[in-house]
Structure 1
Amino acid sequence: MAHITRYDPFEAADPLDTLFRGFFRPVQLDREAPQIRLDVKEDEKSYAVHADIPGVAKDDIQVTIDGNTVAISAEVKKNTEQKDGEKVLRRERYFGRVGRSFALEHEVDEAAATARYQDGVLQLVLPKKVATAARRLAVQ
């Protein structure tokens, strides 16, 4: 069977143009590397954050609060191995860091914030900082 191609007169004839045509396309990252997925809910007094970080030890998770910005990062160590007797058929490893940061509308009271990690889900309760009223100074 013959292979038929369509001639496009406007297509670049220069080989260098065709070489760099796909150079600036987005890079697809490793699909095995976990990503942090978030749910953020708000009520009058606090924010509730649920972050999915499966397969990570509790000691490898860091949460940083700076004003209204929250950053979550984790050290991920994945090591799976399939054996058939003593012969290793396949070994897959992933070691790295994942992170996610986001800004909230109100500042967070860091002293009253709580974090709990259970079954691959990090639960944060981030109370809103009480806004202080503006103070007017008397000029003397």
Structure 2
Amino acid sequence: MANHLTRFNPFGDLTGFESLRGIDDFFNRFPLASALSGRVEEPRLNIDVTETEQAYAVKAEVPGARKEDIRVSIEGNVVSIRVEKTRENEEKEGETVLRRERYHGVQMRRFSLGHDIDAAAATARCADGVLELSLPKKANGQGAQQLAIQ
């Protein structure tokens, strides 16, 4: 006796209707679908902010970024962090390139604090993929300044 199996599709009869023709595309557009499809998205610039009576301390994750690619600016109580990354991946087998991928992007994070920052006394340091900012509080604000990364 021959065994004939047929795959059952509960929506098979419905796809003949014009209004349901794109139902498969609808589910492919969910945000989770891109994460599961193998595409690698760049992570968000995550920060931790702590406060004492005298200053704020900020730690930001900047994995793979060089200190030359990081810009921190302070304007009153607003802190802006900008990280520009360029990454190239290349897979070779012998001398034949099998795959080459490039990424160039900018991540930015801008946030305001409860007190104006003394930009002249503020410091920034980047080590092991973590940017650390020490931001002393100031009573009066002044124009934007750029911090040198150490």
**Same-fold call, TM cutoff 0.5:** yes
Deviation at 1:43, TM superposition (A): 0.8
Partner amino acid, structure 1, of 2:47: L
- Alignment deviations for residues 76-133 of structure 1 (CA, whole Å, 9 cap, x no partner): 10111121110112211101211011111111111110000111111000001136xx
| Amino-acid identity (%) | 45
Q: Is the 8 A contact 2:84 2:106 kept in 1?
A: yes
Cα distance in 1 for residues equivalent to 2:40 and 2:94: 29
Cα distance in 2 for residues equivalent to 1:36 and 1:4: 43
Partner of 2:79: 70
Partner of 2:9: 3
Tell me, yes or no, if structure 1 residue 61 matches structure 2 residue 70. yes
Change (3 A) 1:25 1:89: closer
Give the gaps of 5 or more residues in structure 1.
132-140
Cα distance in 2 for residues equivalent to 1:82 and 1:26: 28
Deviation at 1:26, TM superposition (A): 6.6
- Which residue, out of 95, 100, 103, partners 1:86? 95
Tell me, yes or no, if structure 1 residue 105 matches structure 2 residue 114. yes
Partner of 2:131: 122
Higher helix share: 2
- Which residue, out of 50, 53, 58, partners 1:44? 53
Partner amino acid, structure 1, of 2:11: T
TM-score between both structures, scaled by the size of structure 2: 0.69
TM-score between both structures, scaled by the size of structure 1: 0.74
Change (3 A) 1:60 1:85: same
Question: Over the residues paired in the alignment, what is the CA RMSD in angstroms?
Answer: 3.1
SS of aligned partner of 1:59 = helix
Change (3 A) 1:81 1:102: same
Change (3 A) 1:36 1:7: same
Q: Is the 8 A contact 1:62 1:72 kept in 2?
A: yes
